């Protein structure tokens, strides 16, 4: 099932490197939980897809999202960015009406 979610090439390369180092499949799970400074926060983990997950793929790396989280992140782009302040996965979420400076939480 496709979701309109996109994993950037940078993010796919980073997931592949992390997965290889840990000896796990290159599958990034994105979920949304309550909390964070803006109401919701993104959570990233390596994990196998469940039957009802939405799955997209970039360069052989899968991005999976559960149905509840998908309502909040549909149409998003997951990127991996490096800056002098550090490196992190970032979600460019068109559904977010507000966000925090660190990019890890958002509001609707």
Residue 69, pLDDT score: 92
**pTM tops 0.85, yes or no:** no
Question: What would the DSSP string read from start to end of 32-67?
Answer: EEE-STTSEEEEEEE-PPPTT-EEEEETTEEEEE-H
Residue 65, pLDDT score: 95
Q: Is the pLDDT of residue 2 over 80?
A: no
Asked if residues 13 and 59 have their Cβ atoms less than 8 Å apart, the reply is yes
Q: Tens digits of per-residue pLDDT, 28-77?
A: 999 998 876 667 888 999 989 999 999 999 999 999 999 999 988 999 99
Our CA dihedral for 27, 43, 101, 70, rounded to 10 degrees, sits at 80
Q: Tens digits of per-residue pLDDT, 34-47?
A: 876 667 888 999 98
């Amino acid at each position: 099932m496709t979701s309109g979610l996109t994993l950037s090439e940078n993010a796919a390369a980073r997931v592949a490197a992390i997965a290889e180092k840990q000896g796990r499949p290159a599958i990034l799970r994105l979920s949304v939980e309550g909390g964070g400074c803006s109401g919701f926060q993104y959570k990233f983990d390596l994990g196998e897809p469940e039957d009802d997950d939405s799955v997209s793929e970039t360069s052989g790396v899968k991005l999976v999202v559960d149905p509840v989280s998908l309502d909040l992140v549909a149409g998003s782009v997951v990127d991996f960015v490096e800056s002098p302040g550090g490196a992190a996965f970032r979600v460019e979420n068109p559904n977010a009406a507000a966000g925090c400076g660190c990019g890890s939480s958002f509001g609707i």
